[in-house]
Chains A and B, each alone.
Chain A
Amino acid sequence: MKVNDAVWGALLLVLSAAVFVTIRGFPNIPGQNIGPGAFPGLLATALAGCAVILIVRGVRALRAGGRLVVLGAWLRSPRHVGNFLLACGSIVFYLLAVNRLGFLVTATILLLALFLQLRVKPWLGVVIALAAAFAIHLAFYKLLRVSLPWGVLPILY
């Protein structure tokens, strides 16, 4: 999805304004003319400058017949939109579920869902999902001693 530069410029202008508003609340260091707001302020100024250039460019492109938003080819294919959303959604699912269900269950569900969405044969998907979840768990839990939660499962090893 390609959004016109003017929109990006406007967004960045808002961002730099937000930085300016925030640094006004920063305290000054007594006896010094440079406070914690100086450096971000410098960055925000430069960012605002760039944003203006983008807006000028974007408006020119619009005048020359450019579109405000050009949808990527994948956004017209429901399957690929699904792929994208599921990939992001699976990370959110992990965040919400891992402490309740435990790593092994969460990871297996996550992998299986992605495999099925990517049209892997179901039996192969189940086998690989289980094997990969176990392998990663062994590597991180046993070898690297990361405390991955067990959740609904009893402590197996």
Chain B
Amino acid sequence: MEIFLQALRLVFDPYVLSVIFFSSLFGLFVGAVPGLTATMATALLVPVTFFMPPVPAVAAIVTATAMAIFSGDIPGCLLRIPGTPASAAYTDEAYAMTLKGQAETALGAGLWFSAVGGLFGTLVMIFMAPSLAEVAIKFSSFEYFWLVVLGLASAVFIGSSSVVKALISLLLGLLVACIGLENPAGHPRFTFGVTDLLSGVELIPMMVGLFAVSEILRFMVDLEPPGKILKEKLGNVFTGMWTLTKKYRWSLLRGSALGTAVGIQPGAGADMAAWMSYAMSKRFSKEPEKFGTGHIEGIVESGAANNSALAGAWIPALVFGIPGDSITAIAIGVLYLKGLNPGPSIFTTNAPSVYAIFMVFVLANIIMLPLGWACIKASNKVLSVPRTLLMPVVLLFCIVGAYAVNNSLFSVGVVLFFGVVAFVLEENGFPVAPAILGVVLGTMLEENFITSMIKSDGSPAVFFTRPIAGGLAVATLLILFWPFASWLISRSRAAKSAPRASSAP
């Protein structure tokens, strides 16, 4: 109770509340502009949060991302261009509703069910994270090693079109993490004699390059002209939401639960959650034939899923320091910078701050309703800001933001380098998200690997003989070899059915 009151005082402080308010506006705007993503919003916010105390810093990221994931629905609905990748799954559906003159219902559902899904994910996080931490406190370097490998493996194998390319991207990230003095031996590695690299590649400039500059470069070479906004008078967006909630309560529950579960998986975030639950909704629907023609059911389910995934991703981030998606990968960096080192002990050493973060989640999803409503009302104006004016300003912001972290022009060079690298890699089908997980988790992976090897005198058997470590090892190996196994199974099935097929007349 004492902790609860302390957390209340941390959140309901005029400074923190105004940070929440302004980062909400920022998030709504960034999400609503196509080409600016929720991850980019986070990357751009980090240099600013650098100058804040821990709780408002995290609050800024939490609220901005929650708002951005909702407001990505707006251009999807009105322009048929998703504002963030997380809205892409149901953009066609929402646009079809707009063409039928039901834009306000589609937008209202996006808003209302985003908030409900977000709250669901938050509740799961509030109840699950502390109890998970009680188990996790018994973990030693062996368990952590497997946990990190499990996280990295699922980043590679879940939701990437080419496993080899995702794996390469991950390995490149891990190699970048090797740069500098920060290794168990304290030996400077791969620094090319550059003093700025002794402490490793600075995380924030790298993120800004990977997620913001690469996106600007993509805009620069985009040949498609911007879409036309449908000028339409929007009615009350909340009309009929209660009826929809009652009608689709199971879809809502299913979407939120699936979203949270996908969010917990490292490497799979809100966009993956939306795609999966849209497919699931169609699969279990009583009227699957209506999907794609402007049917609200899929929007209810996947709109809830992408917001609940956001909260889900924070569970492994807080408990283990293992990010659930690229947004929490950045947020973990902020937690470390602020001395809120993630890990099971954060619930005892920093309990008020953690409960304050939980409260921010609840608060963000509640104020999403009025602010989102205002954003929908102003959507015509927000969407007509020309991107030719916006993108150069964002680029300047990237440069200054990276420089601000430690007043070094070297960081600006890092931004350019990683911006171009991410652009080229994505053009060639290498996903960037695994790389960032590799960079964030590289040091942790190496430390636990080396510590374990030293403890066991170089014998790898101990990685499997401790009960929890063994269990995690099995889970990891299952994920690692699942694609291979499923390929074998499908081949043997094909071999079995082939003779039957040929004997058929």
Contact surface of A with B, Cβ cutoff 8 Å: 1-3, 8, 12, 19, 22-23, 26-27, 29, 32-36, 38-40, 43-44, 46-47, 50-51, 53-54, 57, 72-74, 77, 80-81, 83-84, 86-88, 90-92, 94-95, 98-99, 103, 107, 110-111, 114-115, 118-120, 124, 128, 132-133, 136, 140, 144-148
Contacts and interface: CB of A to CB of B under 8 A. Distances in A.
Given A39-B446, A111-B392, A136 B397 contact: yes
A36 B220 contact: no
B409 A83 contact: no
B409 A95 contact: yes
B220 A87 contact: yes
Interface string B162-176: 001101100110110
B420 A88 contact: yes
A87 B215 CA distance: 11
Given A39-B449, A87-B217, A95 B428 contact: no
Contacts of A132: 393, 396
Contacts of B440: none
- Give the top 8 A-B pairs by smallest Cβ distance, nearest first: A114-B392, A36-B185, A74-B221, A83-B220, A118-B388, A36-B187, A91-B416, A146-B404
Contact of B392 (A19, A115, A124): A115
A33 B458 contact: yes
A34 B458 contact: yes
A34 B455 CA distance: 12
B204 to A, nearest CB: 13
A146 B391 CA distance: 23
A86 B424 CA distance: 16
B449 A26 contact: no
B409 A110 contact: no
Contacts of A110: 392, 395-396
A83 B395 CA distance: 13
Nearest to A82: B220
Contact of A80 (B51, B220, B404): B220
Interface string B446-469: 100110011000100000000000
A27 B395 CA distance: 42
B167 A50 contact: yes
Given A83-B220, A110-B395, 13 more contacts: A3-B428, A23-B189, A35-B185, A39-B445, A46-B171, A84-B220, A87-B217, A88-B420, A91-B213, A115-B392, A118-B388, A145-B51, A148-B403
B223 A74 contact: yes
Given A2-B427, A80-B220, A54 B168 contact: yes
B407 A146 contact: yes
Contacts of B172: 47
B412 to A, nearest CB: 6
Interface residues of B, number: 57
Given A50-B164, A87-B216, A95-B409, A133 B396 contact: yes
A88 to B, nearest CB: 6
Nearest to B425: A8
B398 to A, nearest CB: 8
Given A107-B396, A146-B403, A147-B407, A128 B428 contact: no
Contact of B404 (A46, A98, A140): A140
Contacts of B449: 39
Contact of A43 (B171, B184, B429): B171
A1 B423 CA distance: 10
B389 A39 contact: no
Contacts of A54: 164-165, 168
11 contacts: A1-B424, A19-B190, A23-B189, A34-B454, A35-B185, A74-B222, A80-B222, A110-B392, A115-B392, A124-B389, A132-B393
B261 interface: no
Contacts of A120: 386, 388-389
A39 B404 contact: no
Nearest to A146: B404
B223 A91 contact: no
Contact of B223 (A12, A22, A38, A80): A80
Contact of A26 (B165, B187, B393, B397): B187
A38 B391 CA distance: 43
Contacts of B424: 1
A120 B400 CA distance: 23
B399 interface: yes
